[in-house]
Every structure is written in structure tokens, then in C-alpha cells.
Amino acid sequence: MRSIANKFLTIGVKEKGAELCSIRDSGGTEYMWQADPAFWARHAPVLFPVVGRLLNGRYELNGKTFELPPHGFARDMEFSLVEQSEHSLVFQLLPTAETRARYPFEFALNIIYRLNVNSLEISYEVRNNGVERMPFSIGAHPAFNLHGPVDECFLELEKAETLNTHLVSSHGLIRSETAPVLENSSIIQLTETLFDQDALVFMDMKSEKITLGAKHHSRRLTVEFPGFPQLGIWSKPGAPFVCIEPWYGYADPEQPYGDIMKKPGIQYLGAGETFVCTHRISIQ
């Protein structure tokens, strides 16, 4: 585990998956879920080169079939720490024989953590070092502790919105049906049953900031995700955490689409191109 700190926050990141494991404030309060396997044995996996599940766990590329696990392979691989300063960490993942067998592209993935006063900025840099056009998705999956009973906790959006969630099938695929979540409101009240049908998946949210709060707890945690086209919100039913997940991409639909180049929500990089996105976690 690698740690950096300032006078407001201390964070810890593992080399495995370049996974953020801890955010503590100066008073010692822990904001990250501590991976209790009774509920969910992860903290904040990085999702790459896919977000969510593939139909039958496979994808097609130029007539060949490849297999990828849900959320891709980056979360379970050892990253290299390539740079560290007083307030920043840079981790890198490069292709291996194992990744090429499942994802035949010459990528470079950098995960950058920067502390800035009371916030942590997390940047994902994806570079295509190959000569072929490279499809990919990338997303964050941080789990945050609830500082109170579930029914006393809430999520507050930046704007009042009318939102529907895309329903998720029992196989983790995106269904064509939707269900209402908000009607001209900015508050999503957490409940024991909110995630009984899996994650809330938003494709058209206008807000780019969400705050997690609890009725009897003064601290607030805000996630800002400018430019991210999709957002997932998830927990295990009854678990004392919630995940706020900015995505560039999402799980496969139930209907086949053919080659991965046609996958809904997929991103592309040409030869030598770099993609960068940033989200921020702030403690108030």
C-alpha cells in the first residue's frame, strides 16, 4: 500500500489494481468502504477495458472471439508505481501476454491520484501505443461508508432532475426497459431495497456532482465527474456502503450487436492517441 497525505486528508492505494483503499480525514474518520467480504470484498476497482458484463462473457473482434471478465482485467492486475511526490501517486499498467490473449491491443493505462486541500483528484489516462484503432471503456467503482443507518442516508444531485434507471437483467446486462427514480428532485433517498434489482444506471444525467450525506452526520462526501456520459449507483441490499460510479461505457445490452467496434457506449483511440478523464472526491 502506498500513502500520501496533507493536513486535511490521508489516502492509501494498493499496487494491485491501483485501487484506492482509504480516505481518512484529520480526525481519523474513514470514508472508503473497507472491503468486508460479508458484503463486498473490494474498495474502489478501476474498470478497464470494459465496464460491466459482456454478453456471454465474450466479444467479437474482426471475426475472432475473446473472453473478458466483468469490468475487465485491470482491477486484478499489479500496477507499477512510476511516480510519487508528496501529494501525488502515478500507477501504470502495460500489456502482458495474459492481457493480449484477452484484449489484443498495445495500451498504456495510467492512474493518477492527486491530493489538493480537502479533495482527491483521480485521473485515468489511456494511450493507444499500437497501430490499430483501439476500442475501450473505463470507469470508477468507489464504495463509500455510510455514516448512519441506510434509511438516514441520501444522495444529493447537483441539479433537480427527472431520471429513469435502465434496468439490469439477472445476467448483469442492460435491458431495454427503464424505471423512474426521480421526478424533478435532487434527492435520492437510500433504502434497504433500493438496489434489490441491481444498480441504478443513468445514461442522461445532467448533474456532474453528487453528494453523499447522512441525517445525523455533519460530514459530506462529494463526487464530481465532469464529462462522464454514464453514472452507476450501487450497493448490496442492506450493506453499509454505496458506490458512486462515473463511467465511459456500460454493460452489454441483452441484444447482440456484433463486433465490439459497434458496442453501445464504447470509446475509441486511434494509433498514438491518448484519452484522459478526471473525477474528484471531496470531503466537506
Residue 47: predicted pLDDT: 99
For strand 119-128 and strand 217-224, is the pairing parallel, antiparallel, or unpaired?
A: unpaired
Instruction: Return the C-alpha cell found at 198.
Output: 441491481
Residue 63: predicted pLDDT: 97
**CB neighbours (10 Å) of residue 243?**
22
Q: What is the mean pLDDT of residues 114-134?
A: 99
The structural domain count of the chain equals 1
Residue 262: predicted pLDDT: 98
Q: What is the mean pLDDT of residues 42-56?
A: 99
Is 2 exposed, middle or buried (CB count within 10 Å of its CB: 0-12, 13-18, 19+)? middle
Statement: residue 237 has pLDDT above 90: no
pLDDT in tens, 254-275: 999 999 999 999 999 999 999 9
Supply the CATH number for residue 232's domain: 2.70.98.10
Residue 272: partners with Cβ closer than 8 Å, 6 or more residues away? 127, 128, 129
Statement: residue 252 has pLDDT above 90: yes
Instruction: Return the C-alpha cell found at 237.
Output: 441490499
Q: In terms of residue numbers, what domain contains 132?
A: 2-283
Instruction: Return the C-alpha cell found at 270.
Output: 486511434
272 phi-psi bin (left φ>0, alpha ψ -120 to 50, beta other): left
Residue 256: predicted pLDDT: 95
Residue 238: predicted pLDDT: 84
